[in-house]
Structure 1
Amino acid sequence: MGVTDKPASLFRNRAFALFWSSQSVSFLGTQITYVALPLTAVVVLSATPMEAGLLNALESLPFLLFGLFVGVLVDRRARRPILIMANLVRFAALAWIPLAYALGILTITQLLAVTFLVGVMTVFFEIAYMSYLPGFVGRDRLMEANGKLQASSSAAEVAGPGIAGGLISVISAPVVIAIDAVSYLVSALALVGMPADSAPQNDTDTEGKLSVLASLREGFAVVRHNTLLRWCTGAVFFLSLFFSSVMAVYFLFLIREAGIGSAAVGLIVAVGSGGGLVGALLSERLNTWLGTGPTLVAALALPGIGFLLLSAVDGGSLGAAVLAGVATFIGFFGIPVFDVTVISFRQSITPEHLQGRVNATVRSLSWGTLALGSLMGGALASALGLRETVVLSAAGLFVPSLFLLLSPVRAMRHLEQQPDEPAEPNPVGTR
């Protein structure tokens, strides 16, 4: 192939095409549940604001509790069997909700328990898949691969809530969750056809001899000694905290405060989630046009703008629904831009035998903080009110952008550039 030839499409890579297809099915099911699960809690089971916040928290709390240790496990085991196991358990857990509803025994406690179990399996899946992906697409095509997966996820965010809203208007929300359960089963079966892998091998052959704490320190060291990862991980803390705070009351706010119906809520989320799709599709181009640092700063400013607009939604009218959709579009646009950029960089610089721990270090912080933010949102709504919680959370969402604006990252023009900071020793040799 000549130096100017365009590389072949990633979809000609059978492993990636199969993985992308299975994930696309799973993404769609997940987005249907994203609407159906809180509506089951709010409409069917009459959840309180604190219960809604707890439900949201239990989706991500397992990352805080188990993420780092799962990262160590993923670096000592083959990744594909972990992915298959996680999807099969998620299938069984979610299938219980429509079954229990049909039997007339569904309770908010069961809903919380299923949500927590699915969250635990998501920890295993997310960390294992991020560590498995570089092995079959190549590190030089990670930005493209992550962009395609993020675009597929964002497309599901557009289609899924609209589908969920339409289905919920015909059948009940708990029954709609069965679609997500089946999507996990389909994904598990597809993963059986993926390339088999083996446990990662460390060149020094000492990995199995390290204690769990020593293994964890190796993962932390990669993040600590890379300027982009260190500063972006700090920004992720504030992004996760305030984003999950507003999302904990998002559905309650639209239904109870703004007076918008359940079916319309699904359409609002679908329209708003188009922002995530556009952001995913433009992430690589924005990095080229604006430079990495300015792209990251701008991307993290958008959620605050979007959710401040959301706080003005009122009245249940068509205009209110349109404003809610536009606000959500803006709020969701920047997050995939940030994610695709930072995740691709993290995967590309991390040695194979450290992928699980490095991904777990960042994921545990970001997703674990989602749980804290959800509880914070539920508590604020109980004490102050739904609209006040949206306003305060939106104001907090400007913090991650300001955090990066004051950091050396703002001057980066491309990912390969190291921000201008004093050199630090790197004990794991990954610079």
Structure 2
Amino acid sequence: MSETTATAEVKPRSLFRQRNFLLLFTGQTASLFGTQITFVAVPLTAVLLLHATPLEAGVLGALDMVPFLLFGLFVGVWLDRRARRPVIIAADVVRAAALAWIPIAHFLGVLTIAQLYVVVFVVGTMTVFFEVALQSYTPGLLGRDQVGSANGKMQVSDSAAQVAGPGAAGLLVSTLGAPAAIVVDTATYLLSVVTVAGLPADKAPEPQPEAKTLSVRASIREGFAVITRNPLLRSITTAAVTINLFAAMQLAVFFLYLVHIGIGAAQVGLVLAVGSVGALLGAVFGDRLTGRFGVGPMMITALVMPVAGYLILAAVNGNSAADVAAVAASSFIVQFGIPIFNMNIVSYRQIVTPDELLGRVVATSRTCILGAFSIGSLLGGAFGAAAGLRTTLLVAAGGTLVAALVLVFSPVRSARRLYDPSDGGDAAELVHSTPGEDQE
């Protein structure tokens, strides 16, 4: 047995037996559930209490994503020059305070749609700081060899929140009212503050000597350069941008298509519930499947699954029980692969990127991906109007296949593990091996 194989077989202590991960997991899991409640409660506040028009509701939804496109790249540069834990705490405090204003203003009788706009924009902006800082802080907190497993467990929490959160939100809104339900999310942000405050303090990354004199614009370019220079990171990011572009096209016409073929609201709810279960199972078994079959093969499989799902959806023509079952199966297949792809791309980005560049790389990737999603939504609507809903689904399937082929024709195809402890901490590339090599 080689030294590398012997070292790889030494398994680290379970994350759930490590204090730092337990604190992080507890706070972020609660926050994820709280976010799902607000996702439902804020729009209902606008519609039920403030009688928002469709345009006002659309603006409210857009304001959640706009901050990343406006500030993401600059936040990445800023965070690569500062300690990340204080930023995580500050972002949660501001988000809690901003959301708390909604029930307070409602109680005082002064709540307006303009105030909701401000709250959503502030929360979205703080989320930019929070997400970039958290992804940059985690590798140093847990160790790069634990990042993949940690992201897998957090993906389970995220998927579970998406399954249970909307239902819990509906119950809270119906019993307490939408503004009062938002108080629950405020409490989860404060819990996150307490748990993160109990984690070890970090220091500002030590920049490379030449980086100290770089302008903001040059620092942003350096973030792009890190992605383009690394063949694996470049391939994974290109695939992520591509699949988000075409997933947004599909989502833009999804509900219109279901109505077009005669599927009713209750059946749509069933389809969404089945898809959420698929996402949860993908998150639960994703880490195990990746360990069994390898990082590269599972990432490619995770991108091929939506292709099959979109094609099944496009083949449905009616609203019989068999048709509804086919649509539900399509939703399950599509959603099952998403957490597997997400946890691997996030983990790899965290593992290979030097600490002093991690903020910029995370922000650059997220900005490109969200930008692609925004463009895809517009393209989906325009293409659906011009060429038809079914044709748009077929185009989305073809584009998603292109994303999978990007990985097939890259070194990712043969990648087996995210991290090998025998590298001594230098995880500049994914670990490759022959298909028959034991990966346990």
Normalising to structure 2: TM-score of the pair? Answer: 0.80
User: Match of 1:59, SS?
Assistant: coil
Counterpart AA for 1:360: A
The residue that corresponds to 2:238 in the other structure is: 234
The residue that corresponds to 2:435 in the other structure is: none
Aligned with residue 293 of structure 1, among 287, 290, 296: 296
The residue that corresponds to 2:219 in the other structure is: 215
Measured in 1, the distance between the counterparts of 2:385 and 2:113 equals: 18
Measured in 2, the distance between the counterparts of 1:102 and 1:255 equals: 38
Measured in 2, the distance between the counterparts of 1:100 and 1:381 equals: 41
226-235 or 4-13: bigger deviation: 4-13
Residue correspondence of structure 1 range 265-276 to structure 2 within 5 A: 269-276=272-279
Matched, 1:167 2:172: yes
330-339 or 240-249: bigger deviation: 240-249
The residue that corresponds to 1:423 in the other structure is: none
Measured in 1, the distance between the counterparts of 2:109 and 2:259 equals: 25
The residue that corresponds to 1:119 in the other structure is: 124
Measured in 2, the distance between the counterparts of 1:102 and 1:383 equals: 47
The residue that corresponds to 1:426 in the other structure is: none
The residue that corresponds to 1:61 in the other structure is: 66
Counterpart AA for 2:333: I
The residue that corresponds to 1:372 in the other structure is: 375
Measured in 2, the distance between the counterparts of 1:53 and 1:391 equals: 27
The residue that corresponds to 1:422 in the other structure is: none
Counterpart AA for 2:216: V
Normalising to structure 1: TM-score of the pair? Answer: 0.81
**Structure 1: any 5+ residue segments left out of the alignment?**
418-428
Counterpart AA for 2:220: L
The residue that corresponds to 2:201 in the other structure is: 196
TM superposition shift of 1:174: 4.9
Measured in 2, the distance between the counterparts of 1:95 and 1:295 equals: 42
Q: Is the 8 A contact 1:64 1:369 kept in 2?
A: no
Counterpart AA for 1:17: L
Q: Taking CA–CA contacts closer than 8 Å with sequence separation of 6 or more, which of the two structures ends up with the larger relative contact order?
A: 1
TM superposition shift of 1:319: 7.9
The residue that corresponds to 1:425 in the other structure is: none
Q: Is the 8 A contact 1:147 1:340 kept in 2?
A: yes
Counterpart AA for 1:358: V
Q: Is the 8 A contact 1:100 1:106 kept in 2?
A: yes
Measured in 2, the distance between the counterparts of 1:101 and 1:323 equals: 44
Point out the structure with max Rg over C-alpha: 2
Q: Is the 8 A contact 1:59 1:116 kept in 2?
A: yes
Matched, 1:136 2:141: yes
The residue that corresponds to 2:337 in the other structure is: 334
Change beyond 3 A, Cα 1:368–1:41:
farther
Change beyond 3 A, Cα 1:41–1:303:
farther
TM superposition shift of 1:362: 0.9
Counterpart AA for 1:401: A
Q: Is the 8 A contact 1:163 1:266 kept in 2?
A: no
TM superposition shift of 1:391: 6.7
Matched, 1:14 2:10: no
User: Match of 1:78, SS?
Assistant: coil
What is the CA deviation profile of residues 156-192 of structure 1, one whole-angstrom value per residue up to 9, with x for unaligned ones? 1222122223334445445433322322122123222
Q: Is the 8 A contact 2:248 2:374 kept in 1?
A: yes
Measured in 2, the distance between the counterparts of 1:53 and 1:309 equals: 30
Residue correspondence of structure 1 range 245-324 to structure 2 within 5 A: 245-247=249-251, 258-260=263-265, 269-307=272-310, 312=316
Measured in 1, the distance between the counterparts of 2:167 and 2:306 equals: 21
User: Match of 2:65, SS?
Assistant: helix
Measured in 2, the distance between the counterparts of 1:148 and 1:260 equals: 33
TM superposition shift of 1:148: 1.3
RMSD after superposition: 3.7
The residue that corresponds to 1:77 in the other structure is: 82
Measured in 1, the distance between the counterparts of 2:325 and 2:115 equals: 35
285-294 or 133-142: bigger deviation: 285-294
TM superposition shift of 1:76: 0.7
User: For this pair of structures, how many residues does the alignment match?
Assistant: 414
The residue that corresponds to 1:405 in the other structure is: 408
Counterpart AA for 2:74: F
**Structure 2: any 5+ residue segments left out of the alignment?**
1-5, 421-426, 430-440
Q: Is the 8 A contact 2:242 2:399 kept in 1?
A: yes
217-226 or 306-315: bigger deviation: 306-315
Matched, 1:182 2:187: yes
Change beyond 3 A, Cα 1:294–1:8:
closer
User: Match of 1:17, SS?
Assistant: helix
What is the CA deviation profile of residues 37-89 of structure 1, one whole-angstrom value per residue up to 9, with x for unaligned ones? 455566764653x6665544432222222111111111111111111111122
The residue that corresponds to 2:438 in the other structure is: none
TM superposition shift of 1:26: 0.4
